[in-house]
Amino acid sequence: MSVIELGEYGADFTANPYPYYAKLREAGPVHEVRMPDGYQFWLVVGHEEGRAALTDPRLAKSPSVIGVRPPEEDIIGVHLLAADAPDHTRLRRLVTAEFTGRRVESLRPRIERLTHELADAMEPAGRADLVDAYAFPLPITVICELLGVPAEDRETFRGWSNELVTPTGERGILDALEGFGGYLDGLIEDKRAAGPADDLLSGLIAARAEDGDRLSGPELRAMAYLLLIAGHETTVNLISNTVRNLLTHPEQLAALRADPSLLDGAIEESLRYDGPVETGTFRFTAEPVTIGDTVIPAGQSVLVAIGALDRDPARFPEPDRFDIRRDTRGHLAFGHGIHYCLGAPLARLEGRIALRTLLDRFPRLELDPEAEPWEWLQGLLMRGVRRLPVRW
């Protein structure tokens, strides 16, 4: 099997990777590929095979199994997405005890107020970049308030976060990691000094398991880092992608406006059809692993293409059709197995409220016909556009 050069697909692959994933899937569920920077890995594109890979303990999340220690680990620490059992089990148990469904549901009134405040600010102009004016400020405010990050610091780490999910280079990544690490150390120190409070980070500082276990300083830093980035970057694109999908499928938008009970279906179908996470984060083979008819040797990197899995016709008939009435059960937009997204309930809640408010407040919402072509996020991790110009 020859190595596939993803760079040869060009800008078309970034704008619309799904036809390329379909072509790869027709040839087999897994392929060895190479990025333009020379990094080589195995890409899983079949739904059944990818779903199994997401729960296969032989595909470790910690790069230590192949003898690698990434700079992120030295600067930030080991977070949930880079940990395996039993470390992952322990860390997840401690954060799950604080990040409860009750805490998420208690945010509903605040999220509703925020969406209307953002709509109030947008309305007079008649047009806006939906990402900058609505899809970004909502989740960044929610996750920062949840964790207890001061309002005046939020713009500071927006740049760090953007660099980490759509990197411009190694130096930029290191600068962002160092900025984040230093900032979080200071924030945690301030919260320790201030004593008990209602925010999630203060709760994590105080949290103890029944056996007395608690998060260490580096573990707290890594947990806060993951929650801050994953808690807003994915939701920004969940909101903007859903609106973009509806505006480019006007018959589906009309159906939703006529029947608001289809709201959940619109969110779930957008997650399946064009979700915010195009691929999972890397996994590593501690031993040879067979996927389909392919044996992946030990010491290899593996990437599960979530976007490809959710467009597999073996799982979803007519997968390239956007249909908000579709049965979307089984989509993998939030992952699967022990690394299933901890924040999925919060992301869904924000997405539903954001979309409902937007449709209620802007009945003539449409794409801005005078806008420049969309600029797609670079890299394989996140799926979305940097700006989404709309008008009403």
Give the domain CATH number at 236: 1.10.630.10
Residue (of 266, 240, 268) closest to 328 by Cα position: 268
Q: Give per-residue pLDDT as tens, 179-194.
A: 989 999 999 999 999 8
User: Using CA atoms, how far apart are residues 23 and 26, in angstroms rounded to an integer?
Assistant: 5
Residue (of 266, 272, 276, 273) closest to 352 by Cα position: 266
Q: Give per-residue pLDDT as tens, 250-278.
A: 999 999 999 999 999 999 999 999 999 99
Mean pLDDT for all residues in the chain: 93
- Tokens in use for 205? 């500082």
Q: CA 346: distance to chain centroid?
A: 12
Containing structural domain, residue 347: 4-391
- Backbone conformation region of residue 335, classed left if phi is above 0, alpha if psi is from -120 to 50, else beta: left
Q: How many domains does the chain have?
A: 1
Answer whether 0.75 is exceeded by the pTM.
yes
Residue (of 309, 307, 341, 302) closest to 58 by Cα position: 302
Q: Is the pLDDT of residue 209 over 80?
A: no
User: Using CA atoms, how far apart are residues 289 and 272, in angstroms rounded to an integer?
Assistant: 27
For residue 63, how many C-alpha atoms fall within 13 Å in the half-sphere facing its CB?
14
User: Using CA atoms, how far apart are residues 34 and 99, in angstroms rounded to an integer?
Assistant: 38
Q: Which amino acid would we find at residue 140?
A: I
User: Using CA atoms, how far apart are residues 176 and 21, in angstroms rounded to an integer?
Assistant: 31
